[in-house]
């Protein structure tokens, strides 16, 4: 069974995420479970996610999901309510960050960088580090 598409390709926040994510060495995009997924050999970011609360699914349509360092994840979850533990991926260390008009894009770039470094492999990270 194919998942329905759960994003708007014209979403300006997705465009910003896409520009940042696809700038990494060998990064590509695919649709996974109805959401854009950015990957090399492994996925390092998703656009959009959900959580299950009190038996109900709550969609975070305009969010970035990244794989972060456990300490960073804990710190971000203890801050303002813009971060969440995404369904399915959360137990594996993934973090969701809601995006909006007040998004700090430098922070999003840092989160993408950290997630890429955790998933991309030594050669790709070395290529990233060689960039000016």
In a domain, residue 128? The reply is no
In angstroms, rounded to a whole number, what is the distance separating the alpha carbons of residues 127 and 130?
5
Provide the pLDDT for residue 6. Answer: 86
In tens, the pLDDT along 48-72 reads: 999 988 989 999 999 999 999 999 9
Pairing of strands 43-53, 56-67: antiparallel
What confidence tier does 1 reach under pLDDT thresholds 50, 70, 90? Answer: low
Helix axes 105-119, 122-129, angle to 10 degrees: 140
Contact call for residues 41 and 121 (beta carbons, < 8 A) = yes
Of the candidates 101, 48, 37, 114, the one whose C-alpha atom is nearest the C-alpha of residue 75 is 114
Q: What is the pLDDT of residue 80?
A: 77
Q: Rounded to an integer, what is the distance from CA 47 to the centroid of its chain?
A: 6
Mean of all residue pLDDT scores within the chain: 94
* Residue 17 covered by a domain: yes
Q: Is the pLDDT of residue 88 over 80?
A: yes
Counted domains in the chain: 1
In a domain, 51, yes or no: yes
Domain residues for 74? 12-92+99-120
């Amino acid at each position: 069974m194919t998942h329905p598409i759960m994003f708007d390709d014209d979403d300006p926040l997705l465009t910003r995420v896409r520009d940042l994510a696809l700038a990494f060495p060998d990064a590509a995009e695919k649709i996974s479970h109805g959401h854009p997924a950015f990957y090399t050999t492994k996925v390092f970011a998703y656009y959009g996610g959900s959580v299950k609360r009190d038996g109900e699914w709550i969609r975070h349509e305009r969010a970035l999901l990244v794989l972060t360092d456990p300490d960073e994840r804990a710190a971000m979850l203890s801050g303002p309510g813009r971060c969440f533990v995404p369904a399915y991926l959360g137990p594996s260390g993934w973090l969701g960050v809601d995006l909006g008009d007040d998004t700090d894009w430098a922070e999003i770039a840092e989160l993408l960088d950290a997630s890429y470094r955790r998933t991309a492999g030594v050669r790709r990270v070395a290529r990233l580090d060689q960039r000016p």
